[in-house]
Amino acid sequence: MIIEEYVAIARALTNPIFPVSSTLAAFAVAAVVVTTTVCLHEVGHWGAARIFGIRGNIGFFVRRGTSKYWFLSVFGVRYHDSDFHKMTPARIRWFAAAGPLVDVPLSLLCLYGGHLFAGPSWVGIGVTLGGALYLALTPLNWFPIRAIRNDGYIVLRPQAISDQR
């Protein structure tokens, strides 16, 4: 059933009757959806830290320690240095896992709920496309990648967060 919906979306986006402006609008909506879900992913990290009284700020291009792939961190949480003494390995694992735990429900909500939007078809198609894109990219954050010190890497090696200070 879901496959048929994706096929219908692909046909709608490539259909010559579907105006180019609607296709561009659908991609713009998808970009907004992906950006919003990335922000909410970071709010998941930040919220988990706040539960334990750790302060931090969500910012743009937060560098991941010595990683030369800083541009992959469009948004990130920078924890306050004064709160590092409160960060046990178990808490760091929880903080790192909280972001990806937000990803799947959000992307599935967009993926399955996108067609429920009232209004122009390009809105629902854009939301569904954004959910599909984000769901496809989500595993890149789960699997440990040392080079970028992603969330999966921090869960396995919580001491790596001290490199980010």
pLDDT, tens digit, for every residue of 126-151? Answer: 888 888 888 888 888 888 877 777 88
Residue 72 confidence class, pLDDT cut points 50, 70, 90? low
Tell me the pLDDT band of 66, cut-offs 50, 70 and 90. low
Cβ-based neighbours of 107, under 8 Å, separated by 6 or more:
37, 131, 132, 134, 135, 138
CA distances from 109 to 103, 115, 117, 122 (A): 10, 11, 12, 17
Digit-coded pLDDT (tens) for 82-110? 776 777 888 888 888 888 899 889 988 88
Amino acid making up residue 69? Y
Nearest to 45 by CA among 107, 105, 103, 97: 97
Task: Please check whether residue 134 is in contact with residue 30, taking contact to mean a CB–CB distance below 8 angstroms.
Answer: no
Average pLDDT (16-35) is: 78
pLDDT over threshold 80, residue 31: yes
Whole-prediction pTM:
0.75
CA 120, CA 26: separation in Å to the nearest integer? 10
% of the chain beyond a pLDDT of 70: 73
Confidence of residue 165 (pLDDT cuts 50, 70, 90): very low
What mean pLDDT comes out for the span 65-72?
A: 52
